[in-house]
Structure 1
């Protein structure tokens, strides 16, 4: 007759449940998969499928007692680690959203806003365009596969029960300034060109005060802004690659125990 002890049952449960919480937290917070566009049930099924695939290759899990406070602490730790990994990717995507907002303000399209289904707020149309662009580039370059690889490696570099979370909070807080710098780097040529256009209109107004600058300058700034944005998109791939590489490298460094 087969007899199972509480320790054996707890170990078997921990070997699946604890990784499931970390995987689920990543999928609930990361871009693309963690947006309201993907139903929560689909994300849960996807998390179950990923966990079933990676569990056989994971290191040994600590013994867990179901009704013990330590089990809740381990579950909370996995949720926090997964949320940190997912939120770090959100910073990379938000850099493009901020870049679109900056261009929209400079070219006079800040009033043209629409509901962003991924974030649930109203953003400028240019920001929404940049969001769709970075999403397609991220998927086409298999960035999501790199994220899943880092997630699997995190169970070795950040083993369950290690409690190594303090440094990662500080790393994430220090990364917020990188978002604004990356956004400015993306749109610096367009912002500079639009600044020259606005200065030119200012000189025209000074030279011919009777010229109605509001009826002429606004549509011209809008049209020239769209042309400048269109020309700048030819180099968007060269700008995306170093930023994506840096973001994914930082994600890998974030998952390492220090």
Structure 2
């Protein structure tokens, strides 16, 4: 009969289970994979497959007593690191969601909402279009492969049991304004154009008070707003590359990768 000692069990837990918690936490919280479109069972199977694939290349893991308090601390640390990596990616995707909501409110489409199948909430249609666009761009430009590369590298730059990165988490909290600022920068031309259109309608109302501006202004604002969004799509790829580079570099800095 096969007998395993406490040291062998601890070595197996340290070499497989501890990295699995970091990988699983990232996949459960990151965009695309961590949404409601992908079931938790599929995400768990994917985490197991990734862990098995990269386990031979990982550095030596500490020996862990499964019933020790130190094991609970290390597991909590691995989960926290994975969640923070997924949180950075969520911030990057929310730039385009907020940008679409801002444009929708300015052009009068804020009431036109639909259920987001990824998050299970109602969002404006323009915001949903932007989210679909950034998802396709992220997958087409192999952003998910870069994330997995940073994840594998994080076990070398941020090994298991190295301690909590309090400075990195505080830095993330201080940069939350980057999301709103980037969203405003993304839709600033569209907001400016819609503001000029609204000012023109205001001048028309003062010049001809008998003109019912609401009957013609609202549909005209919708049509011109959609046209402006269509024109702005030509520059969204350049903006995406800038924001994606900043987010992925931010992800590398959080795990101290080069």
TM range (shorter): over 0.9
Tell me, yes or no, if the aligned pair for 2:18 and 2:75 is still in contact at 8 Å: yes
Tell me, yes or no, if the aligned pair for 1:158 and 1:164 is still in contact at 8 Å: no
Aligned to 1:133: 133
Alpha-carbon distance between aligned partners in 2 of 1:70 and 1:239, rounded to the nearest angstrom: 45
SS of residue paired to 1:168 = helix
What value does the CA root-mean-square deviation take over the aligned residues?
A: 1.2
1:205 Cα offset (Å): 0.2
Aligned to 1:90: 90
Alpha-carbon distance between aligned partners in 2 of 1:69 and 1:2, rounded to the nearest angstrom: 28
SS of residue paired to 1:123 = strand
Aligned to 1:54: 54
Tell me, yes or no, if the aligned pair for 1:101 and 1:124 is still in contact at 8 Å: yes
Alpha-carbon distance between aligned partners in 2 of 1:3 and 1:209, rounded to the nearest angstrom: 92
SS of residue paired to 1:117 = coil
Tell me, yes or no, if the aligned pair for 2:113 and 2:122 is still in contact at 8 Å: yes
SS of residue paired to 2:187 = helix
Tell me, yes or no, if the aligned pair for 1:27 and 1:47 is still in contact at 8 Å: yes
Aligned to 1:213: 213
Q: What is the TM-score with the length of structure 1 in the denominator?
A: 0.97
Aligned to 1:246: 246
SS of residue paired to 2:114 = strand
1:3 Cα offset (Å): 6.3
After TM superposition, list the pairs within 5 Å mapping 1:112-131 onto structure 2. Answer: 112-131=112-131
1:132 Cα offset (Å): 0.2
Alpha-carbon distance between aligned partners in 2 of 1:37 and 1:212, rounded to the nearest angstrom: 46
Alpha-carbon distance between aligned partners in 1 of 2:185 and 2:7, rounded to the nearest angstrom: 55
Alpha-carbon distance between aligned partners in 2 of 1:89 and 1:34, rounded to the nearest angstrom: 11
Deviations 1:46-94 (A, max 9, x none): 0000000011111111110011111111111100000000011000000
Tell me, yes or no, if the aligned pair for 2:113 and 2:123 is still in contact at 8 Å: yes
Moved over 6 A (4+): none
What stretches of structure 1 of length at least 5 have no aligned partner? none
Task: Compare 117-126 and 218-227 and name the one that shifted more.
Answer: 117-126
Tell me, yes or no, if the aligned pair for 1:99 and 1:184 is still in contact at 8 Å: yes
SS of residue paired to 2:105 = helix
SS of residue paired to 1:228 = helix
Aligned to 1:104: 104
Aligned to 1:74: 74
1:9 Cα offset (Å): 1.9
Tell me, yes or no, if the aligned pair for 2:27 and 2:34 is still in contact at 8 Å: yes
Tell me, yes or no, if the aligned pair for 1:106 and 1:191 is still in contact at 8 Å: yes
Number of residues of Structure 1 aligned to a counterpart in Structure 2? 257
Tell me, yes or no, if the aligned pair for 1:92 and 1:247 is still in contact at 8 Å: yes
Alpha-carbon distance between aligned partners in 1 of 2:4 and 2:196, rounded to the nearest angstrom: 76
